[in-house]
Amino acid sequence: MQSIHELNARYGVGHKIHFSADLNGLVTLEIENPHATAKVALQGGHVMRWNPRHAEAPVLWLSDQARFVAGRSIRGGVPVCWPWFGPHSTDETLCPHGFARVVPWEVVEAKPEPDNTTSLVLKLSESRQVENQWPYDCELVLTINIGPVLSMALTTTNHGNVPFVIGEALHTYFQVSDIEVVRVLGLDHVEYEDKVEDYMLKRQSGDVTFNDEVDRVYLNTQSTCILEDPGLRRRIIIEKSGSNSTVVWTPWERKAAEIGDLGSHYGWRSMVCVETSNVRSNVVTVEPGSSHTLNVQYSTESL
Ligand SMILES: O=P(O)(O)OC[C@H]1O[C@H](O)[C@H](O)[C@@H](O)[C@@H]1O
């Protein structure tokens, strides 16, 4: 594993790119540039915070009860779900949403760009845990660009001789003023599986609005989604490619209480997940010698 000293010596740029470790030994990377500030945990390749300087409120939601411990996903920010989504198909003891979000990643590159944004390239570290759960010769790389726009690209490359199938999601938690006043545009007429009703197949009519638990997998959609928030007077624009599904999730009160780390004072009311993904019937087969990339870009505009 790369030490803090090595990381700062190799990639640190004063206080603009700075690595540190917390009491539990989790390594995080703080980024500051003229466009934005951000914080990324190496465990999970997890973007925890991205605050563009023009935004009055944080764009990503991070629970005030998030637990920062080895082997446990951080509640909020952008968890990377890979190589499966939801429970494992045959072994329920394995981490739901795959192991990528709970294992260490390595830094391949971290550098300021000429346009004053900052680029990071992270790679999932090989480890016995990963080998045991995923016996394929493959590489997973996450490229992140931090600027007025947050861009992320998750690339899976198959170096082996057999094809494999992945489910994946950038399970992004967005900060909202109040879940009951926001809406998600871009999914009108799209078919979805309603996880709250045992995956019943339904069709979206109009914008997605929230007044109860929502857990939906929108299928066969490449559409840009817009999260409109009159309370914060802004839109968050979610543009994607290499993704055929979008998951929309809000737990509501009962589920939030069961989950437990979703924040004090109705923390769940100030978040919603819109997840750029390839899941359920949209999982991806990666052939030997080829790569697949899931891309997303988040930006904001005033309402
Ligand atoms: O609690 P987690 O394992 O992070 O999962 C949180 C949520 O993720 C996704 O949005 C799923 O569709 C939900 O069913 C799940 O509850």
Q: Can you tell me whether residue 192 is helix, strand or coil?
A: strand
State whether ipTM is beyond 0.90. yes
What pLDDT, on the 0 to 100 scale, is given for residue 185? 98
Give the global pTM: 0.97
Spacing, Cα 211 to ligand 1 middle (Å): 18
d(CA 211, CA 220): 25
Q: What is the pLDDT of residue 294?
A: 98
Point out the catalytic residue in the list 168, 193, 228, 275. 275
pLDDT for 85 equals 98
Q: Is 171 among the residues known to form the active site?
A: yes
Residue 127: what pLDDT?
Answer: 82
* pLDDT recorded at residue 266: 87
Ligand 1: residues within 6 Å at CB? 73, 96-97, 171, 195, 215, 247, 249, 259, 273, 275
How many domains are contained in the chain?
1
pLDDT given for residue 242 in this prediction? 98
CA of 252 to the centre of ligand 1 (A): 12
Atom of ligand 1 nearest to the CA of 251: 16
Structural domain of 286: 4-302
Q: Whose CA is nearest to atom 12 of ligand 1?
A: 215
In ligand 1, which atom is closest to the CA atom of 75? 4
Ligand 1 centroid to residue 232 C-alpha, Å: 25
pLDDT, position 14: 84
Q: 112 CA distance to ligand 1 centroid (A)? A: 34
Supply the pLDDT for residue 22: 87
- Amino acid at site 103: V
How many residues belong to the chain? 303
Beta strand spans in 98-233 (E): 105-112, 118-124, 138-146, 150-158, 164-166, 168-170, 173-175, 183-185, 191-194, 200-203, 208-209, 214-218, 225-229
Whether the Cβ atoms of residue 166 and residue 183 lie closer than 8 Å to each other: no
For residue 133, the one-letter residue type is: Q
Residue 37 Cα to ligand 1 middle (Å) = 27
Query: One digit per residue, pLDDT tens: the chain, 303 residues?
Result: 789 999 999 999 987 999 999 878 899 999 999 999 999 999 999 999 999 999 889 999 999 999 999 999 999 999 999 999 999 999 999 999 999 999 999 999 999 999 999 999 999 988 888 888 999 999 999 999 999 999 999 999 999 999 999 999 999 999 999 999 999 999 999 999 999 999 999 999 999 999 999 999 999 999 999 999 999 999 999 999 999 999 999 999 999 999 989 988 889 999 999 999 999 999 999 999 999 999 999 999 999
Nearest to 253 by CA among 296, 302, 190, 211: 211
* Catalytic residue selected from 88, 97, 171, 228: 171
- pLDDT for the residue 15: 79
Q: What is the pLDDT of residue 129?
A: 82
Q: Candidates 171, 193, 199, 252: which one to mutate for ligand 1, based on the most atoms within 8 Å of Cβ?
A: 171
Determine the 3-state secondary structure of 110 from DSSP.
strand
pLDDT of residue 183: 98
* Domain of residue 133, CATH code: 2.70.98.10
